[in-house]
Structure 1
Amino acid sequence: MNGLAIDSDNVTVGAGFNAGRGVIVSAPHKLLVGNNVSIGPRSVVQVDGTIGNFVMIGMNVHIVGRDDHAIDQVGVPMLLSTWVGDRDGTMRDAVAIGDDVWIGASAVVLSGVTIGRGSVIAAGSVVTSDTDEYSLNAGVPAKKIGDRFDGDDDRMRHSLALDELSRADQRVEF
Structure 2
Amino acid sequence: MLKLKYYLSLIVWNLFVNTLGKSMFTPQSIRFLLYKMAGMRTASANIRSGCSFRGKNLVIEQGVFLNHNVFIDSWEKVLIQENTAIAFDVLICTSSHKIGGPFKRVGDSDRKPIVIGQGCWIGARATILPGVTIGDGCIIAAGSVVNKDCKAHTLYAGVPAKEIRPLENREVNANIK
1: CA distance between counterparts of 2:54 and 2:41?
Answer: 10
2: CA distance between counterparts of 1:61 and 1:133?
Answer: 20
The 5 A counterparts of 1:19-168 are 19-27=47-55, 30-47=57-74, 48-67=77-96, 69=97, 71-72=99-100, 78=106, 83=109, 93-149=112-168, 155=169, 157-158=170-171
Look at both structures and tell me which one has the larger radius of gyration over its CA atoms. Answer: 2
* Residue ranges of structure 1 left out of the alignment (5+ in a row): 85-91, 150-154, 162-174
Q: Is the 8 A contact 1:6 1:24 kept in 2?
A: no
- Pair 130,99 (structure 1): closer, same or farther in 2 beyond 3 Å: same
1: CA distance between counterparts of 2:87 and 2:137?
Answer: 15
User: Which 4+ runs in 1 deviate beyond 4 A?
Assistant: 4-7, 73-78, 81-84
Displacement of 1:25 in angstroms is 2.4
Q: Is the 8 A contact 2:22 2:52 kept in 1?
A: no
**Aligned residue type for 2:157:** A
* Residue ranges of structure 2 left out of the alignment (5+ in a row): 1-20, 24-30
> What is the CA RMSD across the aligned residues, in angstroms?
2.8
Larger relative contact order, structure 1 or 2 (CA cutoff 8 Å, min sep 6): 1
Give TM-score scaled by structure 2 length: 0.68
1: CA distance between counterparts of 2:22 and 2:71?
Answer: 15
2: CA distance between counterparts of 1:76 and 1:2?
Answer: 34
Displacement of 1:93 in angstroms is 1.5
Give TM-score scaled by structure 1 length: 0.69
Q: How big is each residue's C-alpha offset from its partner over 1:99-144, in whole Å with a ceiling of 9 and x where there is no partner?
A: 0010000100001000000000000000000000000000000011
